[in-house]
Structure 1
Amino acid sequence: MKFVEREDWGAPASSPASYLGSARGVKIHYLGTEYASRVHSKCDDYVRSIRASHLANTVEDYVDIAYTALVCEHGVVFEGRGSHKRPGANGNADLNSRDYAVCALLGSKGLTTPPDAMLHGLRDAIEWLRRDGDAGTWVGGHRDGYATECPGDQLYAWVQKGAPRPGGSAPAPADDVYVVKPGDYLSVIARRLDVSWQDLAKVNGLRAPYTIYPGQELRIPGGAGGRDVPPFPGTGAFVIGKSHPAVVTLDEGLIRGGWTRHHDGNGYQKGPMFSEFTRRNVADFQRSRAELRGDPDGYPGPLTWQMLLS
């Protein structure tokens, strides 16, 4: 990955944008104006000009360059607001709280076809945000959920294929992921998967009006989708000091995954009693997952059960 930090292209080291703990995924943008191909030594000039124009925009009142990152035709990723910072480019406050925003230096005139190097750079940016920004697996275009032509038909076609690296294939969807089909509604998908639509919305960070898009990947809560995981036994199985057969299954998952830091001094052993050591080990696991770390209380729910035992 060829990465240029903010200070190296002329911005302050840290963006003043508000904190973003995690995101559903990444939205791809383009410039939407005429853009001419240029030598790489001129790309940082253009990134600086974008930041200057955003700061001068009194209508939007941007606090910084609006994008999380920008990628030039040479495949270099320029840090914009950066990871764990809310972007300003997705259209409104709700959309900016949901996804990161990565802009390709690609025009609606001039340079309109993304070169392979740019596609590699966009893929680098996506993987960087998943690794360092707690971004989920969803990848979409600016037009997904907002009335715009961005990121242009050519780049959006690449996005719809799963944003693959040139010469390779799209990343395979993770297990227990449902790919939205044309005409799908959240309630229909929920019935098809035998889960509640409320749980489906919560796991995927969806809020009213619960809009979904063809090609979007939805995480399936609570073990639906065909994995060989025992049904969730209910929260009543996990009470401190009480025994339940499901705790043995839970312990097996903890031991298999190495989540055994807390014990009575003789190593963590599986057994039917839900102890304080069990709760602390479950909390360690929850803190390790972006989907769970918002409330790592150590008490398994359907999603913790599914993810730990998968």
Structure 2
Amino acid sequence: MSLAGAGGDGMKFVEREAWGAPSSSPATYLPSARGVKIHYLGSPYTSRKHSLCDDYVRAVRADHLANVKENYVDIAYSALVCEHGYVFEGRGLHRQTGANGNQDLNRKDYAVCALLGSSGFTKPTDAMLNGLRDAIDWFRTHGDAGTWVGGHRDGYPTSCPGDPLYAWVKRGAPRPDGGKDDDGGTAEEKYTVKAGDTLIGIARRLNVGWNELAKVNGMKPPYTLYVGQEVRVPHTSGGPRTAPPYPGREAFVLGRRHPAVTELDRQLVRLGFTRHHDGNGYQPGPLFTEYTRRNVSDLQRSRPELASDPDGYPGPLTWELAHTLS
């Protein structure tokens, strides 16, 4: 079980293998989504210790796989969130859900299920709401999901996700602590650093510039953070995009892995430079491949500043433009 967010944002994230599923889902590839639909279990559920939550997620998957009528290939949900705020990876990023009611709806949105019942445990905790918000932001940041958020009942005849949770959805799925989310609002004056947080991850989560965040806190490279540290957050939002520090040319070597390649890939996907791939769509990852190089070359050729030498290897200007172009 990893406490570091899948995107380095401090999300309490439980990977598939950690709760007992195969490492990847066999579900159909989903290049992008309109947004995220929120679900609940729709059956009686009782509050439990967190050590028992993974048992329940495994039980949900087993129940889905045994459903002959629906013929699920995997657990139906894209992710599940327990009352303790942990996000369990379901089908995950870029995988079509099986939970939204029909194929058209499954292709339209990701599906995040709160471990919340129709009786027994029926009202979400603040930790669960934060976890749901973490999941929404994860699919937006890394799964190319749009900003729309709704309930299962939106567009499908069902009572899911229950009245208490749906009321939260209709309010825009805000964080219960008044924290900054991707839809705007008032920034927190202070943010408490969690396990796995990075300066860039916090900036993304709060929708502020990482360099401005560093400046107001007097931080200098290598921007070291510690768990429990209080970080002052500037009251800005919706400003221009900024790029994290350039990692160096050595990060981009054919056949080698580096975290910066995953970050670069996300920007290529965001900008639409993804025509070169292995047949399963272009997906972010740490390996710098020939497909990566060719997609970077397409980006370079699209810009007059770079078109004279579109070699596909990111230098500081390519890195900057990949992050700041809209």
**Paired residue for 1:26?**
36
Query: How far apart are residue 257 of structure 1 and its match?
Result: 8.0
1:144 equivalent to 2:125? Answer no
Give the structure 2 partner of residue 111 of structure 1.
121
Q: Which amino acid in 2 is paired with 1:121?
A: G
Find the partner of 1:120 among 107, 130, 133: 130
Instruction: Report deviation, 1:25.
Output: 0.5
What's the C-alpha RMSD, in Å, of the aligned pairs? 2.8
Equivalent in the alignment of 2:77: 67
- Unpaired runs of 5+ residues, structure 2, are 1-10, 185-239, 244-264, 276-297, 303-323
Alignment partner of 2:86 out of 66, 76, 88: 76
Spell out structure 1 runs of 4+ moving beyond 4 A: 169-174, 256-259, 292-299
- Retained in 2: the 8 A contact 1:161–1:170? no
Contact 2:27–2:91 (CA under 8 A) maintained in structure 1: yes
Q: 1:97-150: CA deviations, max 9, x gaps?
A: 010000000001000000000001000101111111111111100001100000
Could you list the runs of 5+ residues in structure 1 that have no partner in the other structure?
175-255, 260-283, 300-307
Q: Conserved in 1, the CA contact under 8 Å of 2:137 and 2:182?
A: no
Aligned partners of 1:158, 1:21: CA distance in 2, in Å?
28
In the TM superposition, what whole-angstrom CA distance separates every residue of 1:3-36 from its partner, at most 9, and x where no partner exists? Answer: 1100010000110001001111000000000000
Aligned-partner Cα distance in 2 for 1:168–1:158: 13
Q: 1:137 is paired with a residue of what secondary structure?
A: strand
**Partner of residue 155, structure 1:** 165
Larger gyration radius, structure 1 or structure 2: 1
- Taking the aligned partners of 2:146 and 2:159, their CA distance within structure 1 comes to 24
- Shift in Å at residue 309 of structure 1? 8.8
What SS class does the counterpart of residue 16 from structure 1 fall into? Answer: coil
Calculate percent identity across the aligned residue pairs: 69
Assess if the C-alpha contact under 8 Å between 1:69 and 1:77 holds in 2.
yes
CA distance in 1, matches of 2:242, 2:112: 36
Kindly tell me the number of residue pairs found equivalent between the two proteins. 197
Structure-2 change in CA distance of 1:257 and 1:129 (3 Å): closer
Tell me the equivalent position of 2:270. Answer: 289
Mapped partners of 1:169, 1:162: distance in 2: 13
Distance 1:22 1:110, change over 3 A: same
Q: Deviations over 1:245-299 (max 9, x none)?
A: xxxxxxxxxxx9899xxxxxxxxxxxxxxxxxxxxxxxx9x94536x55788989
- Distance apart, 1:167 and its partner CA: 2.3
Paired position in structure 2 for 1:204: none
| Alignment match of 1:88 (pick from 98, 108, 118) | 98
